[in-house]
């Protein structure tokens, strides 16, 4: 049996620096990340995860050891980490979504920022004082934040948020697969694979496709030859 090589976990360096400068700040620190910017179908999802320093150190050394960029982990491992994370004492987490229609209306970048804002606002408990966000700065986030390029591999809290976003979105796409059979959403999760493009051309556009994305737009309005 082939054993999965466990990825090295994301460090706590960014978090420790913030905690040392901001002890006992109400609301504390949150990590934020997204999943699903590239697919042709389904929502874009954002995860938000908050915890204090004691919980973070304990979980990183124990039940969440190896947590990192969700793309570097197998689906099975992501599911394991998600179930541990959302049940762990001291962890606050939330999911934010932007729908395909919102993506079409706003564009994918602004819709992603909307999903991140919704995730942070949905966190139970006090509003966070500060956020670490994967990638580039976010317009409209309801707290000050620092954007970290490749943050899901460099920040433990951002890595945790990436797990929430990715696993939650994958589950939504499996549900949509049952609602829209034939497209293969459970397999490719809406990404523009050859199988998805073939199904799109053969079966047409669904209510959960992003009509502003080129391959979908071309099915709706075939280019003139």
Reported in sequence order, the residue ranges of 53-184 that DSSP labels E, i.e. its strands, are: 92-98, 130-134, 145-148
> pTM to 2 decimals?
0.94
Confidence at residue 5, expressed as pLDDT on a 0 to 100 scale: 45
* The CATH number, out of the four listed (3.90.1150.10, 3.10.180.10, 3.30.420.10, 3.30.420.40), of the domain defined by the range 13-169: 3.30.420.10
CB distance 49 to 138 below 8 Å: no
Q: Is the dihedral of CA 159, 196, 4, 82 positive or negative?
A: positive
Q: What CA–CA distances, in Å, run from 220 to 41, 87, 190?
A: 14, 44, 17
Beta bridge partners of residue 50, listed in sequence order: 30, 92
Determine how β-strand 130-134 pairs with β-strand 29-35: parallel
Residue pLDDT tens, the chain, 225 long: 333 444 568 999 999 999 999 988 989 999 999 999 999 999 999 999 999 999 999 999 999 999 999 989 999 999 999 999 999 999 999 999 999 999 999 999 999 999 999 999 999 999 999 999 999 999 999 999 999 999 999 999 999 999 999 999 999 999 999 999 999 999 999 999 999 999 999 999 999 999 999 999 999 998 766
- CB-neighbour burial class of residue 112 (10 A; exposed 0-12, middle 13-18, buried 19+): buried
């Amino acid at each position: 049996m082939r054993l999965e090589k466990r990825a090295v976990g994301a460090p706590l360096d960014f978090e420790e620096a913030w905690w040392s400068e901001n002890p006992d700040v109400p609301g504390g620190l949150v990590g934020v990340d997204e999943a699903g910017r590239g697919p042709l179908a389904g929502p874009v999802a954002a995860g938000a995860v908050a915890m204090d320093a004691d919980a973070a150190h304990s979980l990183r050394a124990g039940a969440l050891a190896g947590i990192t960029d969700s793309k570097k982990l197998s689906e099975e491992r992501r599911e394991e980490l998600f179930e541990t994370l959302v049940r762990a004492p001291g962890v606050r987490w939330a999911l934010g979504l932007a729908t395909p229609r919102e993506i079409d209306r706003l564009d994918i970048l602004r819709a992603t920022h909307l999903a991140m804002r919704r995730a942070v606002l949905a966190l139970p408990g006090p509003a966070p004082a500060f956020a670490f966000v994967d990638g580039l700065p976010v317009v409209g986030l309801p707290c000050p934040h620092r954007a970290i390029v490749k943050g899901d591999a460099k920040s433990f809290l951002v890595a945790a948020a990436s797990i929430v976003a990715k696993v939650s979105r994958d589950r939504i796409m499996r549900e949509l697969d049952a609602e829209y059979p034939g497209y293969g959403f459970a397999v490719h999760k809406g990404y523009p694979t050859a199988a998805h493009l073939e199904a799109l051309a053969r079966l047409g556009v669904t209510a959960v496709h992003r009509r502003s994305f080129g391959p979908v737009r071309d099915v709706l309005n075939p280019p003139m030859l």
